[in-house]
Amino acid sequence: MSEIRLFECACGHKLRFGSQRCGWCYERTSLVNRREFWMISGLGVGVSAVALIAALT
Ligand SMILES: [Zn+2]
């Protein structure tokens, strides 16, 4: 499995997606690097869409 490295730490290190700490300086990574964040975002969008459809029908 290939590693996904989308985001950079403040130190410039490419963060491994889903990791909670930078592999170089061990600073905590930002929320956008977390799988949970995207899952919750997806869930939020899904719930909003359902609410919108429910409101329209
Ligand atoms: Zn770092």
1-56 pLDDT tens trace: 677 888 999 999 999 999 999 999 999 999 999 999 999 999 999 999 999 999 99
Contact by Cβ (8 Å): 23, 8: no
Q: Hey, is 8 helix, strand or coil? A: strand
pLDDT for 44: 96
* C-alpha 40 – ligand 1 centre gap (Å): 25
pLDDT for 4: 83
Residues whose Cβ atom is located within 5 A of ion ligand 1 = 9, 11, 13, 22, 24-25, 27
Q: How many domains does the chain have?
A: 1
pLDDT for 1: 60
* C-alpha 31 – ligand 1 centre gap (Å): 14
Contact by Cβ (8 Å): 20, 28: yes
* C-alpha 48 – ligand 1 centre gap (Å): 35
